[in-house]
C-alpha cells in the first residue's frame, strides 16, 4: 500500500494539530504515512513548487502559486483575527520612511511577505532570511526592519524592538475579513476519495488535540523554537481556533480575497481553479 509523504513546520500550532495523526492516536482510515518531515514553512513552500510532498503545510501566498497541483483541506488551516505578522524595527519611525530601507522577510513565498507588499508596495529592498533570524538581524543593524511571524510575536518586546504595523490588523481594517495565514494542502492527483480520507484524519487529529492538550505538550515543546510553556500555549491559542477545525464559508471567502488581491498587485499568477477539491 502506498505511503503518503507529509510535511509541516515545528511551530506549536502545527505540532499541536498533527500530534495525534503521527502518534497513532486516531484512525487513519486505511492510508499510511511516511515519517513526517518537519521544516520551516518557507522550505515547505519552496518544495511545493516542485510538488515534492503529498500533504504539506503551506502559506496561503505559496498556495496561490501551486493551485494547479494542490488544493486546501477543510481542516488544519491558520486564520484568525489579531494574529497577523508584525512589521518591527529597532525604534519608532514612519512606515513611509521604512519603505525605503532594508526589510527582512521570512521567505518570499510566505503570507507575511505578500502582506508587506500589499501594505507597502513601494518596498523593494527585501532581504529573505529564516523567520527566527529576523529579530537578531534587526537588533544588529543588518536590516532596518523585519516582518516577524510565529513565536517571535510574543518575544520581540523583550528584545527592545517596536512594532511599526500589525499587518494582520491592517488587513482586517481593509477587508473586514480574518487574515488567512496558512493551510494544509494535498496534491490534487491523489483523487477525491483519498483527499477526503486525509481531511477526515486531520480533522480527527485537531479534535484529539483540543480534547487532550496536555498529552500533546511534550512533543510540541520538543520541536518548538521557544520552550517556555507560556509562549507555547499563547502560540497555540492564537493560531489554532475554529478555522483550524473547519475553514468554513468565511475562511474560504477570506482566502479567495487574499489570492485575488495578490493577483491584483502582480505577485500571484491568474488561476480559476477552486481552492478546495470537493
Catalytic residue among 65, 133, 142, 150: 150
Let me know if residue 270 belongs to a domain. Answer: no
pLDDT of residue 71: 97
Give the number of domains in the chain.
Answer: 2
The length of the chain, given as a count of residues: 278
Identify whether the C-beta of residue 248 lies closer than 8 Å to the C-beta of residue 24: no
Confidence of residue 278 (pLDDT cuts 50, 70, 90): low
Looking at 147, 175, 203, which one is the last position of a domain?
Answer: 175
Looking at 175, 202, 235, which one is the last position of a domain?
Answer: 175
Let me know if residue 248 belongs to a domain. Answer: yes
- Mean pLDDT over 20-24 rounds to 96
Looking at 140, 175, 210, which one is the last position of a domain?
Answer: 175
Q: Which domain holds residue 251?
A: 3-80+179-264
pLDDT of residue 277: 77
pLDDT at residue 225 tops 80 = no
Residue of higher predicted confidence among 132 and 257: 257
Give the cell for residue 77.
488551516
**CATH number of the domain bearing residue 98:** 3.40.190.10
Confidence of residue 207 (pLDDT cuts 50, 70, 90): very high
Query: Is residue 8 located within the same domain as residue 144?
Result: no
Task: Tell me if residue 150 is catalytic.
Answer: yes
Query: Is residue 188 located within the same domain as residue 171?
Result: no
Confidence of residue 234 (pLDDT cuts 50, 70, 90): confident
Query: Is residue 169 located within the same domain as residue 93?
Result: yes
Let me know if residue 278 belongs to a domain. Answer: no
Query: Is residue 115 located within the same domain as residue 192?
Result: no
Let me know if residue 112 belongs to a domain. Answer: yes
Let me know if residue 56 belongs to a domain. Answer: yes
Let me know if residue 237 belongs to a domain. Answer: yes
* Count of other CB atoms within 10 angstroms of residue 230: 9
Give the cell for residue 9.
513546520
Query: Is residue 76 located within the same domain as residue 198?
Result: yes
Identify whether the C-beta of residue 116 lies closer than 8 Å to the C-beta of residue 98: no
Whole-angstrom distance, CA of residue 212 vs CA of residue 140: 41
Mean of all residue pLDDT scores within the chain: 93
Reading across the β-sheet that carries 145-148, which strands appear in turn? 126-128, 103-105, 145-148, 86-89, 162-166
- Mean pLDDT over 43-68 rounds to 97
Query: Hey, which of 80-84, 204-208, 230-234 has the most confident mean pLDDT?
Result: 204-208
Let me know if residue 10 belongs to a domain. Answer: yes
Confidence of residue 231 (pLDDT cuts 50, 70, 90): confident
Amino acid at each position: 500500500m502506498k505511503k503518503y509523504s507529509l510535511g509541516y513546520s515545528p511551530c506549536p500550532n502545527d505540532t499541536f494539530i498533527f500530534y495525534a495523526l503521527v502518534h497513532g492516536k486516531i484512525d487513519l482510515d486505511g492510508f499510511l504515512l511516511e515519517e513526517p518531515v518537519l521544516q520551516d514553512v518557507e522550505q515547505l513552500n519552496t518544495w511545493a513548487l516542485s510538488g515534492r510532498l503529498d500533504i504539506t503545510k503551506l502559506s496561503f501566498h505559496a498556495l496561490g502559486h501551486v493551485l494547479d497541483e494542490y488544493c486546501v483541506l477543510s481542516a488544519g488551516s491558520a486564520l484568525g483575527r489579531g494574529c497577523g505578522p508584525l512589521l518591527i524595527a529597532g525604534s519608532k519611525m514612519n512606515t513611509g520612511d521604512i519603505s525605503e530601507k532594508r526589510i527582512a522577510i521570512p521567505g518570499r513565498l510566505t503570507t507575511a511577505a505578500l502582506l508587506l507588499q500589499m501594505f507597502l508596495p513601494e518596498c523593494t529592498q527585501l532581504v529573505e532570511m529564516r523567520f527566527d533570524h529576523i529579530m537578531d538581524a534587526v537588533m544588529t543593524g543588518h536590516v532596518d526592519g523585519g516582518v516577524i511571524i510565529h513565536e517571535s510575536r510574543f518575544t520581540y518586546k523583550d528584545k527592545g524592538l517596536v512594532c511599526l504595523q500589525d499587518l494582520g490588523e491592517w488587513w482586517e481594517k481593509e477587508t473586514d475579513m480574518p487574515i488567512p495565514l496558512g493551510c494544509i494542502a494535498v496534491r490534487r492527483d491523489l483523487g477525491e476519495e483519498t483527499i477526503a480520507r486525509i481531511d477526515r484524519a486531520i480533522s480527527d487529529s485537531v479534535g484529539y488535540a483540543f480534547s487532550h492538550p496536555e498529552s500533546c505538550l511534550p512533543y510540541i515543546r520538543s520541536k518548538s523554537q521557544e520552550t517556555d510553556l507560556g509562549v507555547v500555549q499563547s502560540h497555540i491559542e492564537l493560531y489554532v481556533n475554529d478555522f483550524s477545525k473547519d475553514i468554513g464559508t468565511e475562511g474560504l471567502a477570506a482566502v479567495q480575497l487574499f489570492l485575488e488581491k495578490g493577483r491584483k498587485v502582480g505577485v500571484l499568477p491568474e488561476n480559476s481553479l477552486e481552492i478546495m477539491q470537493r
